[in-house]
């Protein structure tokens, strides 16, 4: 993983086959994302990257607090992962509310 400097609320993407795995940077090296094995959860940035390059899509500074709050709500709901209806992109898009 190259040196990146995400800020809280930024959307992160990393290659995952033909698609991108998405997450939201929380802070202190933690990323909110969702996987088929765990559903929505927090992991380290290194675990999220999985040895692949990570791209940062900066959030609007005014939107950052709301994005982080919605990510926290997603974590509390802990909805079951579903490849078609509730995958990582759905979970992070709900948190970001397409503020990017």
Instruction: Provide the CB-side half-sphere exposure for 55 (13 A, CA).
Output: 8
* CA torsion, ordered 39, 40, 46, 49, to nearest 10 deg: 70
Taking only the tens place, the pLDDT of each residue in 38-54 is: 999 999 999 999 999 99
Taking only the tens place, the pLDDT of each residue in 63-77 is: 999 999 999 999 998
Q: Classify strands 11-16 and 19-27 as parallel, antiparallel or unpaired.
A: antiparallel
To the question of pTM greater than 0.75 for the whole model, the response is yes
The listed CATH number (1.10.260.40, 2.60.40.420, 3.90.1720.10, 3.40.50.261) that belongs to domain 11-96: 3.90.1720.10
């Amino acid at each position: 993983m190259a040196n990146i400097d995400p800020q809280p609320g930024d959307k992160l993407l990393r290659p995952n086959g033909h698609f991108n795995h998405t997450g939201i940077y929380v802070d202190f090296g933690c990323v909110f994302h969702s996987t088929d094995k765990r559903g929505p959860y927090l992991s380290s940035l290194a675990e999220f990257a999985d040895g692949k390059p990570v791209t940062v899509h900066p959030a609007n500074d005014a939107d950052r607090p709301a994005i982080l709050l919605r990510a926290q709500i997603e974590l509390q709901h802990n909805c079951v992962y579903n490849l078609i209806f509730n995958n990582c992109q759905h979970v992070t898009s709900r948190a970001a509310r397409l503020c990017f």
